[in-house]
Amino acid sequence: MTGSAAIQASLYGSHALPLRPAGQVMQLERLGAMHQSRLSFMRSLVRRIMRERWQITPALMELDDQGYGRVIYRIQAPQGCYSFVLFSDYLSPEDRNDRVIATKWDLTMALVAGDLAAEVAAGDESYLQKLRDNVPKQEAGRVDSRVFVLSRANRSARNFDYVVEQLARGEQPDAAKIAKVGYLYRTTAVYGSGKLGMADWQKVQSHWLDFARPFSAEMFVCFMLRNFSLLQAEHIAKTRSPDTFTPMELGLKRYFGIGNSTGLGMAPYLINHPLLINRWVEMRELALARICAMAEPDSSVRDRFGALLQRCDQHTREVFCEDEWQENNNRMLLDDLQRLKQQMLEGITDWNSLLQWSTENCSLQGQELLVSVLLELYPTLVDELENHCCANEGMDLDPQMTLAELKSLIETHYDWALDIDFSQSEAKQTFWYRSEEKMEPRLGDCSLEPGADKQMPLGIGYLVRQCYDQLQAFADNEQATCAEFLLQQPQSRGIVRRIQAMSQTLFGEIRANLLDKEVLPMHLLRAKLAFFGVSKFDPRSKLWVRNTMFQGAPLLEDIGKPFADDWFMPLNPQSNPQTDR
């Protein structure tokens, strides 16, 4: 037993649950309409920190009046001790740049194994100095495998100084102003998985079990950055005016997140890790199927459902966005929410019927938000699925498979690829390549630019089509094996192995032609960011997007206190005073 059937059996016994079809779920535009959910990595991480009561304390805090200096947080988690190391430096206006070509930043930071503060307290600053020499250089520096995440961030030009000035004067920042940005710092890169000399994923997963889920360590660094940004702002304000300074109200403090700028560098991940993506989507779809099969909308759940729809409505209205395309998405979503509210008033007898109704009456944005809301209603049916977010990504080639079997796999699982007319020049006009200067993915236009011969193999549909056409040459001998075929077509080894492996899954392949002239990479970025758990998307072009992370999440001072895990779609606290609890 393999793939989805094995997972379902392990979770539900012999009772398989009906899942939404892959042809529906894995459409690129639908993936680009996904929203954060209980299974998003940020939510899962925060639940774990709060449930296990991690001890996170500033063990070394050397900041001057302007907030510059060095900081070490000690993190004592159930499976080990770690250090979050941060360097704050003056950044001149001419050096300020959020693009990947930047070489200097306001903050640079690293997540490190072991108790670095204890080493410094014992008089050994050698490793801290090594980090001081290299972490601020980011890509130009070099770290060792004791480090497993590296990142950097810049202050928000619109928020940071304003917040400091307000607190120094003894006043609170205006939440309406904060809502337009939502953060004090934004990170422009978070590196892990072996880059720049760091520990690779295999080492993290096997040695540091507190971070043994995909992107857990990277999300933790952003969580810590958010907490430090608030601490630093209060530190500067208090130092500037100790007699009038007032700390920030807790509700407003939680309303701050961390900004993030995400570009094409994230897009290829969804193509290059199909078995992992299959698992992430499968967990979400299994959660939805479980709710539809096992949960009934009683009166208390219907009340909660209505309250969440209202929260989503207000959250969306509070989103500030300059992009016309995203603004149109937000308007459609607000219309969908009104339809869902009306449908709720007319009566809901079961969730499956409501889902079907949404496919006929709502946009993709509304349909996928409904999925996230339903997951929010049933934590006891959903949260345990977070333990199944890892996957063995090995793809083994079956050389003895007959070509008749291989053709059948393509016709069954890649019918969407065979339906694309690649004879049209527009169908192959876009090519993906990696920049030699920054080793970052870029898009090229075959009709305007050279370089298609160096493109990254992200056009899975086209590769499948090529393989299928090559198989026609063996039409008279379909009992020939893949080994015989690959002796003549060795360049097809990778796609044959992928076809064989992915035929055992439901949701791994994105059903779109990524080489098409009109391809919209934003859908890929949105999908992965939704898995992370971000909100408030604000595209700056079709190639990169700003967003907000951890807005509404608990603070470090909330650890050990009662925790409701209810920070889905956070709202302006000054119009929602109950959030100050």
What is the distance between the alpha carbons of residues 166 and 366, in angstroms, rounded to a whole number? 38
The last residue of one of the domains, among 201, 233, 263, is: 263
Q: Does residue 154 share a domain with residue 16?
A: no
Q: Does residue 115 share a domain with residue 3?
A: no
Mind listing the pLDDT tens digit for each residue in 124-149?
999 999 999 999 999 999 999 999 99
Q: Does residue 397 share a domain with residue 249?
A: no
Mean pLDDT score of the chain, rounded to an integer?
92
- Helices then strands (H, E): number in the chain? 24, 11
The last residue of one of the domains, among 201, 235, 263, is: 263
Mean pLDDT of 456-476: 92
Q: Does residue 123 share a domain with residue 173?
A: yes
Q: Does residue 130 share a domain with residue 248?
A: yes
Q: Does residue 10 share a domain with residue 94?
A: no
Q: Does residue 187 share a domain with residue 169?
A: yes
Listed in sequence order, the DSSP H helices in 74-195 are: 116-121, 126-134, 160-168, 175-179
Q: Does residue 102 share a domain with residue 247?
A: yes
**Residue 7 sits in which domain range?**
1-31+391-543
Mean pLDDT of 309-325: 93
In this predicted structure, what is the pLDDT of residue 579? 45
How large a percentage of the chain has pLDDT more than 90?
79
Mean pLDDT of 180-185: 93
Strand partners, 434: 441
The last residue of one of the domains, among 234, 263, 292, is: 263
Mean pLDDT of 330-334: 96
Non-local CB neighbours of 97 within 8 Å, separated by 6+ positions:
none
Give exposure, 51-75, as e/b (b: 16+ Cβ within 10 Å). eeebebebbbeebeeebbbbbbbbb
What is the distance between the alpha carbons of residues 531 and 55, in angstroms, rounded to a whole number? 26
In this predicted structure, what is the pLDDT of residue 16? 67
Q: Does residue 223 share a domain with residue 176?
A: yes
Q: Which two structure tokens, joined as six digits, stand for 23? A: 């042809």
192 pLDDT above the threshold of 60: yes
Q: Does residue 457 share a domain with residue 395?
A: yes
536 Cα distance to chain centroid: 13
pTM over 0.85: yes
- Looking at the domain assignment, is residue 307 inside a domain? no
Mind listing the pLDDT tens digit for each residue in 94-113?
888 766 667 899 999 999 99
Q: Which two structure tokens, joined as six digits, stand for 501? A: 């492996």
Residues composing the chain: 581
Non-local CB neighbours of 94 within 8 Å, separated by 6+ positions:
none
Q: Does residue 204 share a domain with residue 166?
A: yes
**Residue written as tokens 């391809």?**
519
- Looking at the domain assignment, is residue 240 inside a domain? yes
- Looking at the domain assignment, is residue 318 inside a domain? no
Q: Is 301 exposed, middle or buried (0-12, 13-18, 19+ CB in 10 A)?
A: middle
The CA–CA distances, whole Å, from 48 to 43, 131, 184, 444, 529 equal 9, 28, 25, 42, 20
What is the distance between the alpha carbons of residues 159 and 155, in angstroms, rounded to a whole number? 8
Non-local CB neighbours of 287 within 8 Å, separated by 6+ positions:
38, 39, 375, 381, 382, 385
- Looking at the domain assignment, is residue 498 inside a domain? yes
Q: Which two structure tokens, joined as six digits, stand for 289? A: 């199927």
208 Cα distance to chain centroid: 21
- Residue 208: count of CB within 10 angstroms of its CB: 19
Confidence bin at 230 (pLDDT 50/70/90): very high
- Looking at the domain assignment, is residue 347 inside a domain? no
Q: Does residue 537 share a domain with residue 399?
A: yes
Mind listing the pLDDT tens digit for each residue in 422-450?
999 999 999 888 877 666 788 888 888 88
- Looking at the domain assignment, is residue 562 inside a domain? no
**Spatial CA neighbour of 224 closest among 458, 497, 550:** 550
- Looking at the domain assignment, is residue 241 inside a domain? yes
**Residue written as tokens 């603070």?**
555
CB 362 within 8 A of CB 370: yes
CB 458 within 8 A of CB 443: no
- Looking at the domain assignment, is residue 84 inside a domain? yes
In this predicted structure, what is the pLDDT of residue 261? 84
467 pLDDT above the threshold of 90: yes
333 pLDDT above the threshold of 90: yes
Mean pLDDT of 465-492: 91
In this predicted structure, what is the pLDDT of residue 576? 65
Q: What's the total number of domains in the chain?
A: 2
In this predicted structure, what is the pLDDT of residue 101? 65
